[in-house]
Structure 1
Amino acid sequence: MLNIGAHLTISKGYEKAALEAISIEANTFQFFTRNPRGAKARELDLEDIQRLDRICKAHGFVSLLAHAPYTYNLASPDAETWELAKRLLRDDLDRLQYMESCHYMALHPGSHVKNGIVSGILRIAEGLNDILTGKENTMILLEGMSGKGTEVGSCFEELKAIIDKIEYGDKIGVCLDTCHLYSAGYDIVNSLDQVLEEFDKIVGLSKLKAIHLNDSMVAFGSRKDRHARIGEGTIGLEALVRFIQHPVIRNLPILLETPNEVEGYGEEIRLLREKFEK
């Protein structure tokens, strides 16, 4: 069975988002923990969360995926920026403790802001070690990036270097994004087996917990992050279907982040379910 969903808004509540997911034939969904370009979070509504959990259980949802805002930068050399990211991420984890249906939270590792990859890696690891207690119900998933600008985490070696420095390593996993992989120079179109074998050798497949499924507007190895609708980009429908059919990937939660409204996500989900089964 294909475990697939899309990025949905929780502005009207978690229950509404779950019902929206069901309406597009999804059995999971992704949501931002707070304003993706800011710091404000919606008021914690435990009854809404309980209704969400009941719906997810009744409909056989796999784990939801929370997503940290883009404003968090644990790689930053700036003390104020770094402390803010730590404080808000800790608050996100505390809030997610109430949500039984969400076990994972995707996090962009951050940008070293011209301070160097090594400095960025050390900064991220130190920040996560300050935050994690080992008692969290939610695993932080470092998201593999496209490599634009001074991003950290566009290669498997960088993700591994961060993970190796975390005291509570069992609370850290990885989320791979097909657009980011392709833009970072991992040829998932022509060499998917080799890419996954490389990930296993460097990071370990046991750390791979979720997938962001996106086509790409830009060329292979461009190191740019421009998502395209499924089948409308340089990766293409055929390669993306092969990706989700791969034995390593097929049972993971797969989340769409394509430039779409809810109806468009539904069309993509139906298309991918049809192709997946063939």
Structure 2
Amino acid sequence: MDAPAADAFVIGCHLSSAKGYAAMAADAASIGASTFQFFTRNPRGGKAKTIDPADVAAFRTRADNAGIERFLAHAPYTMNPAAAKPETRAFALELLADDLVRMEHTPGQLYNMHPGCHVKQGAEAGIELIADALNQTLAPEQTTTLLLETMAGKGTEIGGTFEELRAIIDRVELHGQLGVCLDTCHVWDAGYDIAGDLDGVLEAFDRTIGLGRLRAVHLNDSKNPRGSHKDRHEKIGHGHIGLAAFERIINHEALRDLPFFLETPQDSLAGWGEEIALLKSLRS
């Protein structure tokens, strides 16, 4: 699939993959979304659903009809390549390798992962382990771009600073296969003032990582004050980041052409549809 047009507002939400790719495209279109995100398997881990070629073909038709050109697959939360236990790291490598193979059934898409938790080994050791996992699994022929997500820095999470993400990227041989997904709740909870100084945060990102690596944005308000390191998502405009900040985010020249994905707490597709309509009304 081709990249979205430069003036397109590409926005979607997190959908259930239980019914397959074609159903996700239909669900996205039903709420006015132009993209979507999904877990590659149960977010707590486990065996992934077998990919059906007929479903992939039906997805391509539905996606084309709905104008959906890009989606984001999300790795399970249990995938921790920085774990202290060798068996946990081996499990993470198995999941990551399997997911990247599966992604090639839908070429040219995005795959997002939480970098991992060092579990009291220290951030430097965790960074080395994450980079090692990526060096073992990334392939020069893959069409998927793997995104490292910005994190809130709770516990022993790696990725709570832009410097930690850059340290991972610097250690990966096929670093051209890597990008970053900026999560608004996570960076806020990590201490970055995206509400009061969005330009300053993006300038820091550019100096440290480079805006060219920023490939997607998770749009989430936060239940907590800035710097809380807690990672609790809130509906857009109902948290400490605030609606005015999201209007600036979706219209910022460095961000507006990226795909945006809602991960806000909702009980139904309709709730995300209302948020999408709200954000579309703020788009200039």
Structure 1: which 5+ residue stretches go unaligned?
none
Q: How many equivalent residue pairs?
A: 276
**Structure 1 position 62, deviation (Å):** 3.2
Secondary structure of the residue aligned to 2:271 is: helix
* 2: CA distance, partners of 1:21 / 1:88: 26
Letter in 2 for 1:93: L
Q: CA deviation at 1:54?
A: 2.0
- Tell me the TM-score normalized by structure 2: 0.95
Name the amino acid aligned to 1:29.
F
The AA in structure 2 aligned to 1:86 is L
Cα offset, 1:58, TM superposition: 2.8
Q: Secondary structure at the match of 1:180?
A: helix
- 1:135, CA displacement in angstroms? 1.3
Where does residue 256 of structure 1 map in the other structure?
262
Partner of 1:86: 93
SS of 1:106's equivalent in the other structure is strand
Matches of 1:155 and 1:27, distance apart in 2: 30
Give percent identity, aligned residues only: 50
CA-atom RMSD in angstroms: 0.9
Deviations 1:154-175 (A, max 9, x none): 1000000000110101111100
**Partner in structure 2 of residue 69 of structure 1:** 76
Corresponding residue to 1:10 among 3, 14, 17: 17
Contact 1:3/1:62 (CA < 8 Å) preserved in 2? no
Task: Check whether the contact 1:215–1:232 (CA below 8 A) recurs between aligned residues.
Answer: yes
* 2:127 equivalent in structure 1: 121
1:165 to 148, 153, 171: 171
- Note the alpha carbon deviations across 1:186-208, whole angstroms, 9 max, x for none: 00011000100110011001100
* Per-residue CA distance 1:36-82 (angstroms, 9 max, x = gap): 01222111111101111222223222310000000100111211111
Q: Which of these residues, 177, 183, 203, is aligned with residue 189 of structure 2?
A: 183
Asked if structure 2 preserves the Cα contact closer than 8 Å seen for 1:4 and 1:254, the reply is yes
Runs (5+) with no aligned partner, structure 2? 1-7
Q: Secondary structure at the match of 1:141?
A: strand
Secondary structure in 2 aligned to 1:126? helix
For 1:105, the equivalent position in structure 2 comes to 111
Distance, in Å, in 2 between the alignment partners of 1:162 and 1:107 is 13
Structure 1 segments, 4+ long, off by >4 Å, are: none
State TM-score, norm by structure 1.
Answer: 0.97
Query: How many Å separate the matches in 2 of 1:242 and 1:62?
Result: 24
Asked if 1:268 is matched to 2:268, the reply is no
Equivalent in 246, 252, 258 of residue 240 of structure 1: 246
CA contact 1:125–1:163 (8 Å) conserved in 2: yes
Aligned AA (1:45): D
Q: Deviations over 1:8-29 (max 9, x none)?
A: 0011111111101001000000
